[in-house]
Amino acid sequence: MTRSLPITAPAAEESPPAGPVESRSRRRSRRVTAHPVAGALFVLPFFLVVVAFLIVPLGYAFWLSLSSKSLATGVRFSGFDNYVRAFTDPLLLDGLLRVVLFGLVQIPIMLGIALAGALVLDAVTTKFALAFRLIAFMPYAVPAVVGALMWGFLYSRTFGPFADLPTLVGGDPIDFFSVSLLLVSLGNIVTWAWTGYNMIILYSALQGVPREMYEAAVIDGATPVQIALRVKVPAIKQAISLAAIFTVIGTMQFFTEPAIMARFAPQISAGYTPNLYAYNQAFAYSDFHYSAALSFALGFLVFVVAYAFVFVNRRRGGRK
């Protein structure tokens, strides 16, 4: 006698319990979902700082530029009248022309010295190069006010060491604050302060140029001067353009040096440079509305000049 085994239906396949892999996948999914919120929380402090210290002040200054104030009418909305006044103001236009002429002379000289210094540093690999790099960069670390005061004392005819040098050979003392030499004196201060900064930028760009290019030029019989002018300078053309853009923007904002030198040179008027003119309109004449319009007009001009420089530079680069 045989006993038949009970026939039982196959058990339905049950879904396996969530393993560690699936659990990790779910946790990763939750983290991915939470990332946008976490990213927004990280960005929020920076966004609040930008709004509080950039957007709101700019908006308030722009509102000031669109209004005027007088004893008779008080503060009233005047539209773009302040801007029309700014672009037809002879004092502002004279200062703007003076800064443009200053930049046309000073910028090529400063960038030329910076480029020559960077090429020398790249060619010399002794300990002297390290010391020279540090010394050249030191003027940039000196605050602009301190540097201008220092040069003001050096230029002085009373106790400066340079003014009486021509008398040693029977000449007349030099007046560095005269009308004919004032821009040269200011240009010397700016060149002293910013040449090292631009030189370090160009030197850093030279360090990124492949050394194989130099070796190939040497094999072709190029001299060190030819390697510098025909290999290194074209290779760092973008860095030179960047330094030039920064210098153009800085020149259009020329303020600290003439403001400090006004203590020594009375011929530096309230409108000697556009930035100095805007500053004096606000804090010497209490015309904050017109000063705000001048500031926005200058910002617009700086943007136009910088964009025109980049546009021309790209066009010239595209043709090559």
The CATH number of the domain holding residue 297 is 1.10.3720.10
Q: Which residue has the higher pLDDT, 228 or 158?
A: 228
- The sign one gets for the Cα dihedral 232, 234, 240, 242 is negative
What's the whole-number mean pLDDT along residues 133-146? 88
Does the model's pTM come out above 0.85?
no
Residue 12 resides in a domain: no
Residues 192 and 257 in one domain: yes
- Full residue range of the structural domain in which residue 163 is found: 82-318
pLDDT band at 67 (very low <50, low <70, confident <90, very high): very high
Tokens of 142: 């000196």
Residues 73 and 119 in one domain: no
**C-alpha pair distances (Å), 32 with each of 35, 73, 150, 188, 260:** 5, 59, 58, 57, 56
Tokens of 259: 């403001």
Residue 301 resides in a domain: yes
Residue 275 resides in a domain: yes
- The number of distinct structural domains making up the chain is 2
The SS3 assignment for 15 reads coil
pLDDT exceeds 50 at position 7:
no
Residues 41 and 107 in one domain: no
β-pair type (67-70, 74-77):
antiparallel
Residues 172 and 283 in one domain: yes
Residue 190 resides in a domain: yes
Residues 93 and 190 in one domain: yes
Residue 25 resides in a domain: no
Residue 229 resides in a domain: yes
Residue 250 resides in a domain: yes
Residues 135 and 42 in one domain: no
Residues 139 and 107 in one domain: yes
Helices (H), the chain: 20-50, 56-65, 81-87, 90-123, 127-141, 144-155, 182-207, 211-219, 224-227, 233-235, 237-252, 256-261, 274-283, 288-319
| d(C-alpha 66, C-alpha 71), whole Å | 17
Residues 232 and 246 in one domain: yes
Last residue of a domain, one of 52, 77, 102: 77
Residues 309 and 232 in one domain: yes
Residue 6 resides in a domain: no
Tokens of 260: 């400090």
Residues 55 and 118 in one domain: no
Least confident of 28-37, 232-241, 245-254: 28-37
What's the whole-number mean pLDDT along residues 72-93? 90
Residues 90 and 234 in one domain: yes
Residues 44 and 125 in one domain: no
pLDDT band at 70 (very low <50, low <70, confident <90, very high): confident
Last residue of a domain, one of 51, 77, 103: 77
